[in-house]
Amino acid sequence: MPVIVVANPKGGVGKSTLSTNLAGYLASQGHAVMLGDIDRQQSARTWLGLRPAAARPIRSWETDDDLRVRPPRGTTHLVLDTPAGLHGKRLDEVLKIATQVIVPLQPSIFDIHATHAFLEQLAAHRRAGKFEVALVGMRSREGTIAADQLKAFLGGSSFPVLTHLRDTQNYIHLAAQGLTLWDVTPSRVERDLEQWQPVIGWLAR
């Protein structure tokens, strides 16, 4: 089963935005998707609580009689939203099941430095090679110094850079309704869907 982990030790980089929309895309393709939230803030779980009953189903963890959590029966794809400060044993537990790791980061010098160290951890991890790693630039504004700094950093990465997602209110408005780019009329979010195509291609490899 594909297990897509969205991770970056820096908080506020857009992990939940990326996770929810990844789950939304997979659900739009007819997959039985579970969106797992291991962040204390439980942003993804909160988002699931807002999701309309008429929207394509995305499920959360199930708890058995022994209070152990597990994916719902029939799950075909798992997306994990992870907390800030993910390291040590918790990182090991996540990477133990990961098939793909997507690292989001924003055009901030603080995000860049934190992410650089995290990418070194992933490259040196004992399971490196068992999972694929790719990067996604978040809230990118073309023509800004910050965006140029981010692109310069990403250009030197040994991991592929899939895309740069623009800074738009679309994600905020949709999240407030428990929705994703794939739950609304395509013409409404056409530019954003175009930016997601490299991510979709990477997932489908």
Residue ranges of domains in the chain: 3-203
Nearest to 33 by CA among 50, 17, 55: 55
d(CA 194, CA 64): 40
Which range, of 72-81, 94-103, 127-136, 137-146, averages the lowest pLDDT?
A: 137-146
**Span 90-119, average pLDDT:** 87
Q: Which pLDDT value is given to residue 74?
A: 94
Evaluate whether 6 touches 104 at the Cβ level (below 8 Å).
yes
- Has residue 197 got a pLDDT over 70? yes
> What predicted TM-score, i.e. pTM, was given to this entire model?
0.90
For the cut 70, the answer to whether the pLDDT of residue 9 exceeds it is yes
The pLDDT of residue 61 = 82
Residue 138 pLDDT exceeds 60: yes
3 state SS of 174: helix
pLDDT of residue 47: 92
- pLDDT value for 81: 92
How many CB atoms sit inside 10 A of residue 85's CB?
A: 13
**Per-residue pLDDT at 72:** 86
CA-wise closest residue to 154 among 121, 116, 120: 116
Output the pLDDT for position 55: 97
Q: For helices 43-50 and 15-28, what crossing angle results, to 10°? A: 40
Position 127: which residue type?
R
What pLDDT, on a 0 to 100 scale, did the predictor assign at position 2? 95
pLDDT category of residue 30 using cuts at 50, 70 and 90: very high
Q: Which of 33-47, 82-96, 181-195 has the lowest mean pLDDT?
A: 33-47
Model confidence at 28: pLDDT above 90: yes
Rounded CA gap, 5 and 97, in Å?
Answer: 9
* Per-residue pLDDT at 113: 78
Q: Average model confidence (pLDDT) for the chain?
A: 88
Residue 161 has what pLDDT?
86
Q: Indicate the fold that domain 3-203 takes in CATH.
A: Rossmann fold (3.40.50)
- pLDDT at position 131: 95
Which helix (H) or strand (E) segment holds residue 57: the answer is none
| pLDDT score for 107 | 77
Among 145, 142, 125, smallest CA distance to 133 is for 125
